[in-house]
Amino acid sequence: LLARIDMISARMFPLGEVPNYEPTLQDSMLLRAKARGITPLAAIYDTLCEGDGDNLLYFPIFNYNDGNLDVVGEMLRHPRALFSLGDAGAHVGTICDASFSTFLLTHWVAQGYLPLEQAVQMLSSRNADYLGLRDRGRIAVGQRADLNLIDPATLALRKPQLVRDLPAGGKRFLQTAAGYLGSWVAGQCVQREGVVSEARPGRLVRMGGGRPA
């Protein structure tokens, strides 16, 4: 890796308190190092040592060759696009994909790539229909009331935090968000303004042929 530090640092970026997941190439650690007249490795060390030592670096692996996420936006706008996660916990110490739904609203909608109504439909009924979850994905009589109440004016992702709460001290990244005023599962409030309630109405979800899960 050290032998390829120039190539790696060219697409490595500091991740601030307000994460920017579409930085410009000028923000790369390589160009920051050149502007300061130091090596990329020194710039990386300096960034990680600043503050309380909890600074993070963003290293987009795919879909960022042009220094932007335009190709991702093009894929998202395809009428057959579906959201999914297949990591199964294999890389929880390096990434946190659970925040993708908030990023969809704070980035793709806010930047005008997708209209809000399409983004909500993609997060709800489109996936529910594809997976055969016939009792959710819409607000309608007889459906499960799985709902989020969101304040678009305050909706924002916070910087990921590394915690060690897995068995044997295993680490994982968590990422919280502001702007979720409340969340309901099967009609029961499970969180209000970031405070988790004692309600546990959720159950194992299985693909159903028109039957409630």
Buried b (16+ CB within 10 A) or exposed e, 72-108: bbeebeeeeeeeeeeeeeeebeebbeebeebbbbbbb
* Residue 188 to residue 147: CA distance in whole angstroms: 9
Q: What is the pTM of this model?
A: 0.85
In tens digits, the chain (213 residues) has pLDDT values of 677 899 999 999 999 999 999 999 999 999 999 999 999 999 999 999 987 888 999 999 888 888 899 999 999 999 999 988 766 677 888 888 889 999 999 999 998 999 999 999 999 999 999 989 899 999 999 999 999 999 999 999 999 999 999 999 999 999 999 999 999 999 999 999 989 999 999 877 676 555 554
Q: Which two tokens stand for residue 133?
A: 């979850």
pLDDT value of residue 213: 46
pLDDT value of residue 66: 87
Q: Which two tokens stand for residue 60?
A: 């987009």
The residue extents of the domains of the chain are 1-64, 69-213
pLDDT value of residue 102: 95
Q: What contacts 51, CB < 8 A, 6 or more positions away?
A: none
Q: Which two tokens stand for residue 105?
A: 């609203």
pLDDT value of residue 3: 73
